[in-house]
Amino acid sequence: MPVARRTGEVWITAVAEYYLDELDAAGFCYEKARDFAEKLRKLAGWSRIDNTLDEWIRQRLEEDAREDYLLFARYLAVCYRKYGLSFESFGSDRLYELIEKLGGGDLIDRLRAQGSGDLPEEIAACRDDEIACLANDAFATIKITIKNEREENYEKALDFLIGVLGEDFPRSYAIEFESPQKNSLPIQGLPDSGVHRLFANAIAYEKLRPKIERYARAAMEEFHWYQDETAESEDGAMPGTYAVFALGICDGETYAPLVADYFELCDNEHSSIQVKFIAAHVEKYGFDERGIDMFIQCVYEIGNFGESELYAERIANEKSLRLFLDQKDKLIMEDGDSSHWSYILITAEINGGFLRDKWRDVAGWGGTWRDGVLQK
Angle between helices 241-250 and 273-285 (to 10 degrees): 10
What pLDDT sits at residue 1? 34
Q: Are 61 and 70 in contact (CB under 8 A)?
A: yes
What pLDDT sits at residue 2? 36
Residue closest to 329 by CA, chosen among 318, 345, 341, 343: 343
The burial of 270, by beta-carbon neighbours within 10 Å (0-12 exposed, 13-18 middle, 19 or more buried), is given as middle
What pLDDT sits at residue 185? 97
What is the C-alpha to C-alpha distance for residues 54 and 77, in angstroms, rounded to an integer? 9
What pLDDT sits at residue 289? 82
Decide: pTM greater than 0.95: no
What pLDDT sits at residue 51? 93
What is the C-alpha to C-alpha distance for residues 237 and 172, in angstroms, rounded to an integer? 10
- Residues in the chain with pLDDT values less than 70: 1-9, 229-233, 268-270, 299-308, 328-376
What pLDDT sits at residue 352? 57
What pLDDT sits at residue 363? 41
Sheet with 141-146: strands ordered across: 125-127, 131-136, 141-146, 174-178
Q: Containing H/E element for 296? A: helix 289-302
What pLDDT sits at residue 292? 82
